[in-house]
Amino acid sequence: MAGRRKGRIIAFQALYSWDVSKRPVDELLEFDWLESTKREKLGEEGLVFPRLIIAGALEHIDDIDKQIRDNLDNWDFNRLNRVDLAILRMSVYSLLYQKDMHPSIVIDEAVDICKEFGSDESFRFVNAILDSIRKKNEGIQ
């Protein structure tokens, strides 16, 4: 599933860019910000998956952010690391709206992306938040 991993990384990068620069969604979905060699290598077919995640996450951003807020223990949403937040948004979208994605895969991918792009402790934090959201949405407490 290397293609899906690359797609998730691209989606995370786009959501991060949107958060810090408020780049318009249509620009994000054109992938002009992505290195041309990467864009060409992926081709249009390779951009379908990240495009779905980006568009879906931004369409449901209020609900996604509420889910994240509701699962933060003793932490202020506005103080979240922007990298962690982008990974959380991408992953919460997948947990809530991509029912064909198994939750454990979504969480494992988020943890791996955190290990690559986040701080040393990011993966533990993101894992805990996503697992809490997963349990609540599956009716497990």
Largest CA distance in the chain: 46
Residues 82-137 have pLDDT tens digits of 999 999 999 999 999 998 889 999 999 999 999 999 988 899 999 999 999 999 88
Domain 2-137 adopts which CATH fold? N-utilizing Substance Protein B Homolog; Chain A (1.10.940)
What is the domain partition of the chain in residue ranges? Answer: 2-137
Q: CA–CA separation, 135 vs 14, rounded Å?
A: 27
Confidence label for 2 from pLDDT (cuts 50, 70 and 90): low
CB 93 within 8 A of CB 51: no
- Whole-model pTM: value is 0.90
